[in-house]
Structure 1
Amino acid sequence: MVNTRFGQWLGRLLLVCTLTIPLLLQDSFCLDGSPPAYHFSHGFGSGVNNWLVQIEGGGWCNNVTTCLARKNTRLGSSKAMVKELSFSGILSNKQKFNPDFYDWNRIKVRYCDGSSFTGDVEAVNPATNLHFRGARVFLAIIEDLQAKGMKNAQNAILSGCSAGGLASILHCDKFKSLMPSTTKVKCLSDAGYFINTNDVSGAKHIETFYTEVVATHGSAKNLPSSCTSRLSPGLCFFPQYVVSQIQTPIFFVNAAYDSWQIKNILAPGVADPHGTWHYCKLDITKCSSIQLKTMQDFRLEFLKAISVVGNSLSKGLFIDSCYAHCQTEMQETWLRANSPRLGATTIAKAVGDWFYDRSAFQKIDCPYPCNPTCHNRVFDPNDHLE
């Protein structure tokens, strides 16, 4: 269970960054037409020329109705975003809590387009005023950061959590191509390895959903051509069909029992009309033996999907057996005395060693409930699961 008291205490020690609304070009807009935004903590000391660009998560919208539902929220409008945000985990500026990246320039890109920054539709329907311009937002923010010093970067990481973790996969090689050839560039995906598998009813719910996301946002042109030249664009939203072709070094942090995927890919509400999975999705300890067997089968599907990463030393893996989602931005799971470990290694050490070429890291945990260091999420019964 995640210890929220520690998180609340630690929050008083964290750097609080204000919202930046850059002067962006290329008609880059959030869903509602407002300008995109990010939070920026400047590097210092030996880290002044090192840059970490972290993309926020927040799911996707797959049609006009679902995009309208988020249009006026923080996931669709910079007008609804909080002005100040605390940085922790990989974004912390405290050496004790983030030894390898604490003094870097650290940027959190706010997520407001609903397509993992892949959309690009010129036309705007005046009836909805929805802007599908995510790919333009990504390019414009990178240009803005380059103007603020990233063009001189010695080291750079494109990272993200959830939908942002997927964005870091889909844009990894693009990010590398936009940086100087002398910059050491790597990517990090946290909880972004969403897999294509059937739900508990046997339907291809997530495949249909992703196909609709890509069609709604006009994403096909911004997905890796190494994939779209072979498969339908909707499939190219899944990392398992893309990562073997990524040339830039990339590290995957993921739970084999990713709580978002269990709730929304394996057992979405549409596949569980009687709510049989409700309490199991809230708390893995409430799952029946049959449900746990289904989740173990899901883990095997996940491991099969991520096996395409291969054994290249340029690609890293930290696949734990926790019921969790996003582990790099929370101090409790990134680096703390009782953080999740594979062997004796925390996520922070694995990623740091891999980035600085101190040692490669590709480890997959044993099946649940074997790892006592896991911080297994327990959700409030009133939480909206989908």
Structure 2
Amino acid sequence: MACSRLGQWLTLLVCLLILLKAESHLVGITLVESAVAKGAVCLDGSAPAYHLDKGFGAGINNWLVYFEGGGWCNTVATCLDRSNNFLGSSTKMEKTMSFSGVLSNEQKANPDFYNWNRIKVRYCDGSSFTGDVEAVDPATNLHFRGARVFRAIMDDLLAKGMKNAQSALLSGCSAGGLASILHCDNFRSLLPVDTKVKCVPDAGYFINARTVSGSPYIQAFYSEVVALHGSVKNLPASCTSRMSPGLCFFPQNVVPLTRTPIFFVNAAYDWWQIQNILAPDVADPEGAWKKCKLNIKNCSPSQLQTMQEFRLQFLKTIAGASNSSSHGWFIHSCYAHCQIEIQETWLAADSPMLSKTTIAEAVGDWYYDLTPFRKIDCPYPCNPTCKNAEFF
């Protein structure tokens, strides 16, 4: 979810909250050892991994693939740092993972997808599964092979029955949400033509906005990620043929060219984007935004005005790019980031709502073509249900 140390600690806090609060069950890890020979490996050269909870009953031939989040690394130093933890090495990953929200196997908690084959793909490449550099520097032993990891895991799942999928959904959180956008059409192409395939990125719509100091920080950062990981050949060619590859990491430049239906779950005041795009530490050397970034209730009137302007830019960007009738969106005004994997924000008695509808209900109705859902919340602090999402 983050590219800074502060963001990494917040990521760990969110994971802890999930473990403490959510109705969940534990699912064991699967290492794709056969991928190593193909060079489809994590940053440290270890085997890629995922957690699979098998479908049952009427959902036995339906597949939900969910990409884990965890930010990106844009330099050798930051990638080396990741290679020493679970975001860069499967040897550092926990052997079981808690499944809840859209990954839950309980009908009351996840009525539309509970009996599907539900997979959480572990994120260990630092490029939203787009990198592919053949050379490996012996001094660092870093492998930039995210795109190969994506394909190796898809091949493993196809062999386990996904090739016969009747319905499929590609999703993910944060950097994983971005991956579900960038790979949406690619995922569609791997499945039979008669499979019902859609994509639901959660907190993956990162916009190309300037910082509070006026610098194009996130644009430069993404360009560095793409260059380091050799991502250009694995980004949509429909985008890279028209503009600089780094710009093709932004959904606003990819979504208009994506053919597969997409539903966007996002906060208009996404706390990761506020912390790392609008007001990153490099643009706030005096720390004037520090307290505000951690809790929107601490923001001054002028900071809130800046955030309101950021919201308008976000809404203009997503509405301008997502104009297909096959698209849907749930854009609320909570100070949140990543919600569909967390039971409290996916489907609970006090979940965030738009038009008296939870995220789970909106996604389910859209996926099954029952009702379209394209709702945008009023400005902060208008939505009383946001109190239940403030830590996510």
- Residue 105 of structure 1 aligns with which residue? 117
Q: How does 1:17-166 map to 2 (within 5 A)?
A: 17-25=27-35, 26-166=38-178
Distance apart, 1:4 and its partner CA: 11
Distance 1:65 1:179, change over 3 A: same
| C-alpha contact 1:23 1:144 (8 A) present in aligned 2 | no
- Residue 3 of structure 2 aligns with which residue? none
Distance in 1, matches of 2:55 and 2:389, equals: 33
- Aligned-residue Cα RMSD (Å) equals 1.7
Q: Are residue 337 (structure 1) and residue 338 (structure 2) matched?
A: no
Correspondence for 1:229 among 241, 254, 264: 241
Distance in 2, matches of 1:267 and 1:71, equals: 27
Q: How does 1:184-195 map to 2 (within 5 A)?
A: 184-195=196-207
- Residue 7 of structure 2 aligns with which residue? none
- Residue 10 of structure 2 aligns with which residue? none
2:82 maps to amino acid: R
1:149 maps to amino acid: G
Distance in 2, matches of 1:4 and 1:136, equals: 27
Identity among equivalent positions (%) equals 68
1:341 maps to amino acid: M
Distance in 2, matches of 1:168 and 1:4, equals: 20
- Residue 347 of structure 1 aligns with which residue? 359
Runs of 4+ off more than 6 Å:
2-6
| C-alpha contact 1:24 1:141 (8 A) present in aligned 2 | no
- Say which SS state the counterpart of residue 34 (structure 2) adopts: coil
Correspondence for 2:179 among 163, 167, 172: 167
Question: Normalised by the size of structure 1, how large is the TM-score?
Answer: 0.95
- Say which SS state the counterpart of residue 88 (structure 2) adopts: coil
Distance in 2, matches of 1:7 and 1:190, equals: 16
| C-alpha contact 1:3 1:332 (8 A) present in aligned 2 | no
Distance in 2, matches of 1:341 and 1:311, equals: 23
When structure 1 is superposed on structure 2, of 175-184 and 100-109 the one drifting more is 175-184
- Say which SS state the counterpart of residue 302 (structure 1) adopts: helix
- Residue 383 of structure 1 aligns with which residue? none
Distance in 2, matches of 1:314 and 1:223, equals: 22
Distance in 2, matches of 1:291 and 1:204, equals: 19
- Say which SS state the counterpart of residue 247 (structure 2) adopts: helix
- Residue 384 of structure 1 aligns with which residue? none
User: Tell me, which stretches of 5 or more residues in structure 2 are unaligned?
Assistant: 1-12
User: Tell me, which stretches of 5 or more residues in structure 1 are unaligned?
Assistant: 380-386
Q: What are the superposed Cα offsets for residues 178-216 of structure 1, whole Å, 9 maximum, x if unpaired?
A: 111121111110000000010001000000000000000
When structure 1 is superposed on structure 2, of 177-186 and 164-173 the one drifting more is 177-186
Q: What are the superposed Cα offsets for residues 219-255 of structure 1, whole Å, 9 maximum, x if unpaired?
A: 0011011110111000000000110110001110000
Q: What are the superposed Cα offsets for residues 3-33 of structure 1, whole Å, 9 maximum, x if unpaired?
A: 999955654x522101110233331000000
- Say which SS state the counterpart of residue 72 (structure 2) adopts: coil
Q: Are residue 321 (structure 1) and residue 321 (structure 2) matched?
A: no
1:15 maps to amino acid: H
| C-alpha contact 1:243 1:308 (8 A) present in aligned 2 | no
Distance 1:15 1:351, change over 3 A: same
| C-alpha contact 2:336 2:391 (8 A) present in aligned 1 | no
Distance apart, 1:63 and its partner CA: 1.0
Distance apart, 1:314 and its partner CA: 1.0
Q: Are residue 367 (structure 1) and residue 376 (structure 2) matched?
A: no
Q: What are the superposed Cα offsets for residues 317-371 of structure 1, whole Å, 9 maximum, x if unpaired?
A: 1001110000100000000011011111100000000111111111111110011
- Say which SS state the counterpart of residue 337 (structure 1) adopts: coil
| C-alpha contact 2:255 2:322 (8 A) present in aligned 1 | no
- Say which SS state the counterpart of residue 377 (structure 1) adopts: coil
- Residue 278 of structure 2 aligns with which residue? 266
1:180 maps to amino acid: P
